[in-house]
Amino acid sequence: MGIRSIPGYVHVKGVTPRKPWTRSELLVLMNLYAKIPFGQFDQSNPVLMDIADRMGRTPGSVAMKLSNLASLDPVLQARGIKGLTGASALDRAVWEDFQLEPDAHAVESEHLLSELMGMGSLDVDVVPERGIRPDHTEGPTESEALLKVRRGQAYFRQVVLNAYGGRCAVTGLAVRELLVASHIVPWAVNPDLLPRMKEIMVRMVPPTIHAHRLDVRNGIALNGLHDRAFDRGFITFDKKLRMVCCKELRGRFNETEVARNFKVYEGKPLHVPEGFEGPNLDYLAWHREWEFRK
């Protein structure tokens, strides 16, 4: 019989022992919780079925535990959704740890998920309606620090793309391989790097957006062209999430391709799926101030 493992337990395929949930297992489920919409916590979901098999549990028990975690989610509570009561003390502790240090725990959970799936250093791509598959984007051998960065970015990409239903928020393009999880406040922006310029950095990066790197609300699912335009400041989005083109781009609206790709979308709001809060307005204000070509 094949043996699969994750720190904290050993699993012999086909055997479903009655055992308490471990911190490692819960971190994996926190990872999935961020990537799968609440309405898809179902035992027939291919992702849950695969995870359950590898953990030596039933799909129903995995779905139930995700619903327990949902009961701790203030975003769902604000929508009047209670989740499933019965969250354990460990559930609450892991949930709180994840909220306090999201970057570190996202990377750790991504590592645990890859190990559980038997993919080693490969990243995994969680697609709710399809299952879990390898993401063959790794390059040459990396240092541990670079591996953590890549794992964090892989986590961010999946969380953002899944939050937008696997579609470009501007055009509706649904070819996942052609989509990018665009950072609103770039990954590289870090107020701690320039302590001698604290005043300037606080203005550039207000305290409210310091934990921006892996925040799903710091991301927008965009196709490659609009991602590039957003990254270079040719487009931005206003307080009502409507696309705004810079003066330079507007001056070329008479060109066919510019009109086709930008003019027709200017003034139209981003497509934000029901149940998702969409971009953080503080992040967008930062982008309009520091990245947009006025």
Q: Mapped to the 3 state alphabet, what secondary structure does 36-87 carry?
A: CCHHHCCCCCHHHHHHHHHHCCCHHHHHHHHHHHHCCCHHHHHCCCCCCCCC
What is the pLDDT, as a whole number, of residue 8?
43
* pLDDT score at 67: 96
pLDDT at 190: 55
Burial 3-38 (b: 16+ CB within 10 A, else e): ebebeebebeeeeeeeeebbebbbbbbbbbbbbbeb
Residues of the chain with pLDDT under 70: 1-18, 136-145, 189-211
Q: What is the pLDDT of residues 32-47, one digit of tens each?
A: 999 999 999 999 999 9
Q: What is the pTM of this model?
A: 0.80
pLDDT digits (tens, 9 = 90+) for 134-155: 875 544 445 666 778 888 899 9
Per DSSP bridges, beta strands 9-12 and 179-183 are unpaired
Rounded Cα distance, 135 and 185, in Å: 25
pLDDT at residue 62, as a whole number: 97
